[in-house]
């Protein structure tokens, strides 16, 4: 598949690294036992990581069932199972740092990695909760590294009521925890205001033989 992604020009070139977690992680409690953590700028010099992943990951397109037909999943994907080597050493370091930081939290450790490439503002993820938690009443965590274009990350409670829209940017970390995958939905909405490609790396715990990714997407109203 030919893949055209602009080389990143976010002004953070150099050897990618990690800025550390600790007190820099800010928690927001949500309703129904869900929470999110934010650590802006967790990946330093993230340009080179973006370029390395855009160029070296075996991205592929998938199709999904939607009612009686199959439709193209509007983003490119790659998945790394437990024990498979990740496509950049910084991702392994990030996962280790996350597992150390969240060692006492329910739902770890992080073992699998799913990668998404949003080529432009037409690529998206519809409202969903990750499958890893849908089948389990236990709390879990999903940690997401974001690289490239800033995209809104939308969250809303299944029980109704106000949601939130976070601006997640180049090098930022977002962790969804507690009941978030069961009681809240999240989405990366399509946007006409997107300046280029975005890559996300989702670390998840193991759940059965499952890679724990997206559930069936809900068609947009």
Residues that bind ligand AKG (CB under 6 A): 114, 116, 125, 130, 144, 153, 186, 188, 200, 202, 213-214
Q: How far is the CB of 147 from ligand AKG (least distance, A)?
A: 10
Does position 217 interact with Fe ion (CB under 5 A)? The reply is no
| Burial of 52 per CB tally in 10 Å (0-12, 13-18, 19+) | middle
Q: How far is the CB of 172 from Fe ion (least distance, A)?
A: 16
* 169 contact, one of Fe ion, ligand AKG, none, CB 5-8 Å limit per kind: none
If binding means CB under 5 A, how many residues of this protein chain bind Fe ion?
A: 1
Q: How far is the CB of 55 from ligand AKG (least distance, A)?
A: 19
DSSP track, the chain: -----PPP-SS--SS-EE---GGG-EEEE-GGGEEEEEETT-EESHHHHHHHHHHHS--B--EEEETTEEEE-SSEEEEE-TTSPPSSHHHHHHHHHHHHHTTTSTT----EEEEEEE-STT--EEEE--HHHHT-SS---EEEEEEES-EEEEEEETT-S--EEEEE-TT-EEEEEETHHHHEEEEE---S---S-EEEEEEE--BTTB-----PPPPP-
- Complex with ligand AKG: residue 130 or 139, whichever CB lies closer: 130
- Complex with Fe ion: residue 129 or 196, whichever CB lies closer: 129
- Complex with ligand AKG: residue 21 or 133, whichever CB lies closer: 133
- Complex with ligand AKG: residue 141 or 188, whichever CB lies closer: 188
Q: How far is the CB of 208 from ligand AKG (least distance, A)?
A: 17
- Complex with ligand AKG: residue 14 or 84, whichever CB lies closer: 84
Within 102-141, which residues bind Fe ion (CB under 5 A)?
130
**Residue 191 — left, alpha, or beta (φ > 0 → left; ψ -120 to 50 → alpha)?**
beta
Q: How far is the CB of 204 from ligand AKG (least distance, A)?
A: 9
- Complex with Fe ion: residue 90 or 188, whichever CB lies closer: 188
| β-pair partners for 128 | 186
Q: How far is the CB of 95 from ligand AKG (least distance, A)?
A: 16
Q: CB nearest Fe ion: which residue?
A: 130
Q: CB nearest ligand AKG: which residue?
A: 200
Residue found by looking up tokens 């600790």 in the block: 22
Binding stretches for Fe ion (CB under 5 A)? 130
């Amino acid at each position: 598949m030919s893949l055209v992604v602009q080389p990143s020009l976010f002004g953070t070139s150099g050897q990618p690294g990690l800025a550390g977690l600790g007190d820099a992680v800010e928690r927001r409690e949500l309703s129904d036992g869900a929470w999110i953590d934010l650590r802006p700028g967790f990946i330093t010099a993230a340009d080179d990581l973006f370029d390395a992943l855009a160029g070296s990951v075996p991205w592929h397109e998938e199709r999904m069932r939607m009612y009686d037909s199959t439709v193209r999943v509007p983003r490119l994907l790659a998945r790394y199972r437990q024990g498979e080597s990740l496509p950049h050493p910084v991702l392994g370091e990030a996962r280790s740092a996350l597992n150390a930081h969240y060692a006492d939290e329910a739902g770890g450790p992080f073992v699998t990695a799913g990668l998404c490439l949003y080529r432009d503002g037409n690529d998206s993820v519809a409202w969903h909760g990750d499958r890893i938690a849908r089948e389990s009443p236990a709390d879990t965590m999903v940690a997401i590294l974001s690289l490239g274009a800033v995209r809104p990350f939308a969250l809303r409670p299944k029980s109704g009521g106000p949601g939130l829209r976070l601006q997640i940017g180049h090098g930022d970390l977002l962790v969804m925890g507690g009941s978030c995958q069961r009681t809240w939905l999240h989405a990366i909405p399509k946007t006409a205001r997107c300046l280029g490609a975005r890559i996300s790396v989702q670390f998840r715990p193991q759940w059965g033989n499952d890679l724990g990714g997206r559930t069936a997407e809900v068609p947009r109203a």
